[in-house]
Amino acid sequence: MFQSPATEPLDLQAFKSTISLPYRLTPGKAMGSFIAELSGQRIVGSRCRTCNRVEVPAQDFCQCGSDDHELVIVPSKGKLTGFTETPHFTLGTVRLEGADCDLMHHLCGEIEWVIGQSVEVVWSDKVESTMRDMLGFKACIDTELQVIQALTDPKQFLDSMPTSLTLDYHHAQGPYYGRLFDEMQSAGRIMGIRCSHCQSVLLPPREMCDICYEKTGTWVDVADTGVLQAFSIIHLKFVGQFREPPYVYAEVMLDGASTKIIHVLEVSNIERAHEFLKPGMRVQAVWRKELKGSLGDIEYFKLLEIPSF
């Protein structure tokens, strides 16, 4: 038995992590046309046939609610309507000639920007069929007013495009997960916490018991052996996998714990795993040589019962 969390000094070091989500974006027909036309250095908007409003980038629906529109080529020059400076770049909003809304992009050049000054698009030499085909806007002199033209020879619109979302963050583990991971890294042991009312040993440890809703009390050593409760044989690939399919994902009730954990189960014959795996089989954790303080310190679980074929 060990001290309760309330009597221990708390180490709340942050856990650095990253969520990376690659996916395919479906921009829609109007926005897909806007992106496709950038590769030909043309800015495409949508002109509503109901209220005559011109939106840039092109939109499938007008602000008036109508979806009856035509695609048009909007001039690449306009007026600066607003800007904000950061230590690394300047971001501006530009009202292109003939448009009824602003387009946001980088402002190119180290000058003193003024609201209302004339700007024009700076095109990239590298064609990507993305918004990066426009490097941004630069200052220019006033010239003869350009007009909107109908888009008579449109490119094939992009129906989807690869993209990704990456989030870097610091996660505070807190006194419960923090103690669990600290003990795994420093001592190679697994610790749960006992409920002060029903005496259930919760793993992962937490402040409140999710069975009787009472505060938890003392820390308890939990064995790295246990019982297979359920499993899934994974054959499909998906984002976030740490290993190539096929493999077995298992629910394990460790000896001394009252709640299960989910981890990978290593089997010698994955093709026949569905024949011999069954709930109730004994398993044991296989630890990594280098411990870093996470559930990944357990590389996988192995069967203690060797199946016979």
Domains of the chain by residue range? 1-18+173-222, 27-159, 223-309
Q: What are phi and psi of 141, to 5 degrees?
A: -90, 155
Q: Can you list the residues of the chain whose pLDDT is less than 70?
A: 1-15, 308-309
Q: Note the pLDDT of residue 13.
A: 61
- pLDDT of amino acid 16: 75
> What is the pLDDT, as a whole number, of residue 14?
66
Q: Residue for token digits 């993305």?
A: 130
Q: How far is CA 201 from CA 34, 190, 191, 220, 295, in A?
A: 58, 12, 9, 7, 18
Q: Can you give the pLDDT at residue 3?
A: 46
**Beta pairing class for 298-303 and 190-195:** unpaired
Provide the 3-class DSSP secondary structure of residue 28: coil
Q: What span, in angstroms and rounded, lies between the C-alpha atoms of 125 and 285?
A: 55
CATH 3.40.50.720 is right for the domain spanning 223-309? no
CB 119 within 8 A of CB 140: yes
201 vs 222: CA distance, rounded Å: 9
Which amino acid is residue 18, in one-letter code? T
**Max Cα-Cα span within the chain:** 86
Which residues face 164 on adjacent strands?
22
